[in-house]
Amino acid sequence: MPTNFGTVRARMAVAALGIALAGMFAAPARAHAAATDLTCAGTESVTFSPGLLLTPQQVTLHTNRQWGPCVSSDAAVTSGFDAETFVNTISCLSLATAGTGTLTFTWSNGRTSTFMFNKSVSHPIGQTVVTYTGTIVAGEFAGDSVLETITGAALNLTACLAPPGITSTFGIAVLEITGA
């Protein structure tokens, strides 16, 4: 049965927005809590070349994350994006790996934030959940802590049996940047 990816993406985006907004407005106040400088709902699209199969192979990944709507201590930051391209040895059964790195957020006010991160990966109920934690080391929000969580839907493993395999995925994301 064919899947209407536009409908799936729209539903995932609405779900991400609901999760982000619930977190922004329903969270109880905490004594001496760190100030939240930015909270965004977002989406992630990833392309794989060559497509993912059941056996591990060297794959070029291009990720594109769109952030927004955002609520920020800087009223000019209402959205943003970040993108990465890298090569990794992966398969449909080992889609993401833990690690460290740096990426740059570009914000709607024209400024950037350089984020040094640690990445962890889990697979609840067949989904892939990638969590980035770390610090903004330069630019907007420098010195702040970051928590970014991306949840991708479970893969259709029958597509992994033969080329072209899985050539793209989509996920929902939430980004929170907190000051001291």
Domain positions in the chain are 5-178
Distance CA 91, CA 86 (A): 15
CA angle 141, 119, 93 (to 5 degrees): 145
Residue 126's pLDDT band (boundaries 50, 70, 90)?
confident
List C-alpha distances in Å: 4 to 8, 10, 40, 68, 128: 6, 10, 26, 23, 21
* Residue-wise pLDDT tens digits, 66-76: 999 999 999 99
Give the chain's mean pLDDT. Answer: 85
Distance CA 36, CA 177 (A): 6
**Mean predicted confidence (pLDDT) in 34-45:** 94
Distance CA 39, CA 69 (A): 9
Global pTM value:
0.79
Q: So what's the pLDDT on residue 97?
A: 84
